[in-house]
Amino acid sequence: MVHPTMVIEISCLEVWQEISSYIDNGVDPELRARMEAHFKVCRHCSAILDGTRNVVKLIADGAEFEVPQGLRSRLYAKLDAQLKQG
Amino acid sequence: MSAPNTVTDIRETELIQRVCSGDHEAFYELMKPYEKAVYFAARSVVNNPADAEEVAQEAVLKAFNNLSRFRLESKFSTWLVQITINEARMRLRKERRHRYESIDEQAKDDEGDYIPKDFADWRDIPSEELQRKELRDALERAMAALGSKYREVLICRDVQHLSIAETAQILGITEASVKTRLLRARLQMRDALAPGFDGSWTTGRTEFKKVRPW
């Protein structure tokens, strides 16, 4: 745990550069603490964080992307043709 | 995706061995968990449903014909997606001159910071709102508007749930590039989808709040 009084301030630009890694839990604890402290006081960045998280969640749900109807049967068309030829 | 994602598991290993010893039917079973993954991988590069299907068909054929070369210490899913991406890139290279961004654009490095354009706040959108068709369409449009090098990374990471290392391996780029491109892709998607920026899918929903930080 990083003590709150020890957190060094971070700029919005620096936050944006790391926001994607932050969402992926890919930043070290020290940077995470600095970013968390920033999100508490900066509504711009916290809005961007929430929005970006929403986007990732949205994309993560495979159902959001439609697979064309009948894809399964067509997917093997070339393989089937080759196998038929022997 | 619900496909197995730790190692090439015992069941897969058996299926692969069966295919290699002439049991063609086993290949269909092997492929089953990854059918969507192949399509999305193709789609991430060529970004056109019809072309993506053809790429996916070609990738399936190549995977079958080269299965004996697959080494069991890597993941079958990674290998398969890599074949698909390569296939899609080959196709794109043939067609790019007419229909897609230039090779210069593709080769350009990820220099410069991406500055978010809009600060609209999403926290009040209920999750069921995210299921709506308009939003799905908006998502597809936003995805289509990304440069292919960003879309590839986004699909590998956020649709296929591949790790940063796997994504780097599949796309033939460094892990640092994966992170940079992913950041840009996600921020660009957020900009494109932020309420108020393109409000077409927000109309008529009283429970939806447009919140601005200022």
Together in a domain, B142 and B190: yes
Domain boundary among B84, B100, B116: B100
Rounded to 5°, angle at Cα A59 from B209 and B106: 115
pLDDT in tens, A3-18: 555 677 899 999 999 9
DSSP string, chain B: --S--SS--HHHHHHHHHHHTT-THHHHHHHGGGHHHHHHHHHHHH--HHHHHHHHHHHHHHHHHTGGG--TTS-HHHHHHHHHHHHHHHHHHHHHHHHS--HHHHH----SPPPPS---B-TTS-GGGGG-HHHHHHHHHHHHHS-HHHHHHHIIIIIS---HHHHHHHHTS-HHHHHHHHHHHHHHHHHHHSTTTSGGGTTT-TT---B---
**What is chain B's mean pLDDT, rounded?**
77
Residue B214 in any domain: the answer is no
Give chain B positions within 8 Å (CB) of A65: 40, 43, 136, 139-140, 159
The total of structural domains in chain B comes to 2
> Is B3 among the domain residues?
no
- To the nearest whole angstrom, how far is the Cα of A72 from the nearest Cα of chain B? 7
What CATH number should be reported for the domain holding residue B49? 1.10.1740.10
Asked if B86 and B14 sit in the same domain, the reply is: yes
Predicted pLDDT at A3:
58
What does pTM read for this prediction?
Answer: 0.70
CATH assignment of the domain containing B197: 1.10.10.10
pLDDT digits (tens, 9 = 90+) for B131-145: 566 677 778 888 888
Asked if residue B190 and residue B131 are part of one domain, the reply reads yes
* Residue B134 and residue B172 in one domain: yes
A19 contacts in chain B (CB < 8 Å): 183, 186-187
Mutation pick from A18, A42, A44, A75 vs chain B, by most beta carbons of B within 10 Å, is A75
Residues in chain A: 86
Of B56, B82, B39, the C-alpha closest to B168 is B82
Of the candidates B75, B98, B87, B105, the one whose C-alpha atom is nearest the C-alpha of residue B44 is B87
pLDDT in tens, B99-126: 544 444 444 555 567 776 655 555 444 4
Q: Are residues B59 and B131 in the same domain?
A: no
Shared-domain flag, residues B73 and B153: no
Highest mean pLDDT among A52-56, A81-85, B115-119, B172-176: B172-176
The strand pairing partners of B211, in sequence order, are B121
* B212 lies in some domain: no
Residue B121: its chain A contacts at CB < 8 A?
A: 43, 47, 50-51
CB distance B164 to B179 below 8 Å: yes
- Between vectors from CA B141 to CA B123 and to CA B61, what angle results, nearest 5°? 120
For residue B143, what pLDDT is reported?
Answer: 86
Output the pLDDT for position A63: 53
Is pLDDT at B202 greater than 70 in this prediction? no
A46: helix, strand or coil: helix
**Does B95 lie in the same domain as B27?**
yes
What's the confidence (pLDDT) of residue B72? 77
Domain span at A60:
4-85
Range of the domain at B175: 127-201
Check CB contact under 8 Å for B64 and A64: no
Inside any domain, residue B207:
no
Residue A4 per-residue DSSP state? G
